[in-house]
Amino acid sequence: MKITQIRFVLCGYALPTPIPLSCGSLTHRNFGLVFIETDAGVTGVGETSVNFPPWCVHERRATIEDGLATLLIGENPLDVGRLHDKMVNATRAFTRMWAEGAIAQAISGIDIALWDIAGKSYGVPIWQLLGGRYREEIVCYAVGFNAADPAAGALDMKARGYTHAKMRIGFDDAVDVRKAHAMREAVGPDFGMMIDANQAFDLPRARRVMRDLEALDLFWLEEPLLSDDIEGYLALRREFPTIPLAWGENAFRLSDYRDFTTKDAAQYVMPDPCRSGGMTAAARMCEAAAERGVPFSPHHYGSDVGFAAALHLAASKPNFSIMLRDEAPVPLRGDVLKVHFEVANGVVRVPDGPGLGIELNMSAIQSATIRL
């Protein structure tokens, strides 16, 4: 079997209400799908994260179709690990010239599609290829529910059966702190509460905000600093030992995962199959964390193609903790599939079918495709 074509397909639409993040507002929800076709008639699908910056969609098409595809046409798609390493090694020097994350995210979409082909070819789910299934159901926490009033949003998620939810900060610190305290008061002491700063702070600002959050008994505080500031994370860990730190969605090297977990700079790591380099890289990151007894929580903020990939990762590793589920009102996220994922009491079943175990809704994908 040989790879004959690799395509990037951008789906998305403008949001009626922008989604505020500390690094900017999402005015569109874009989903970057990657299709790999073979001479055996087996097609694989993957996803590459295309949230920020807004112009990344143009870079992503070029990186995948004009760059990485040229390395893989004619190759055997079942050589998943070798092809992943081939892409990484061929682009290693480029990471010094433009964003390392952009390259890793492009590789991610291709790598997931290769795993999908492998699973379909062998007739087994990806979790089986990754070593087996530790769990059939994945516990999720809710995010994206109500930026203006996270207390009310979290109460809604609790009523729907979620036991954990995450709000975002990094805007106006005083307002953020008030909202965080209101959320804790609303959901009560037994509800798992996460806060995501999206790398918004420098060290002094992080210290000020964390002093005001200490009493909230957080499940974790996510990305208070830039992802490469390991000394800053270590300082916060020493000064605020009761606030676990989550990190990793914006880290793209296995060596960084080893550094952070070895030095106890993060208590949860968050590899994202659509960002970190695909299933291959994310699995290696989870295993590196497991060596140090550190749990992982797969990050995902895209379509349900990537969500399926994250489910397979969560099912196949022993040190899984909990996983993100985006509850923002974005119908296309799930409509890319013929059968939607059902979240019942904050739990999602892991797909059993070959590969990713999903069936694409090509009509919805085609109607939402954006021509670049």
Model confidence pLDDT, tens digit, residues 51-91: 988 899 999 999 999 999 999 999 999 999 999 999 999 99
Measured over the CA atoms of residue 67, residue 71, residue 75 and residue 78, the dihedral's sign is negative
Q: CATH number for 3-123: choose from 3.40.50.300, 3.40.50.10490, 3.40.605.10, 3.30.390.10.
A: 3.30.390.10
Is residue 299 a contact partner of residue 324, using CB atoms and an 8 Å limit?
yes
Helices (H), the chain: 56-61, 69-72, 80-91, 100-122, 126-129, 150-159, 173-187, 203-213, 230-239, 254-262, 278-291, 304-316, 332-335, 362-367
pLDDT tens digits for range 166-193: 999 999 999 999 999 999 999 999 999 9
Domain(s) of CATH 3.30.390.10: residues in the chain: 3-123
Domain(s) of CATH 3.20.20.120: residues in the chain: 128-362
Give the Cα separation of 22 and 28 in Å (integer). Answer: 16
**Looking at the predicted structure, is the pLDDT value of residue 238 above 90?**
yes
Domain 128-362 has CATH 3.40.718.10: no
Is residue 14 a contact partner of residue 82, using CB atoms and an 8 Å limit?
no
Instruction: Look at phi and psi of residue 24 and say left if phi exceeds 0, alpha if psi is from -120 to 50, else beta.
Output: left
Residue 20 binned pLDDT confidence (cut-offs 50, 70, 90): confident
Residue-wise burial string across 235-264, b where 16 or more C-beta atoms lie within 10 A, e elsewhere: bbbeebeebbbbbbbbbbbbebbebbbeee
pTM for the full model? Answer: 0.97
Q: What per-residue confidence (pLDDT) applies to 27?
A: 86
Give the Cα separation of 180 and 85 in Å (integer). Answer: 42
Of 103, 15, 38, 18, the C-alpha closest to 64 is: 103
Give the Cα separation of 112 and 5 in Å (integer). Answer: 15
R_g of the chain computed on alpha carbons: 20
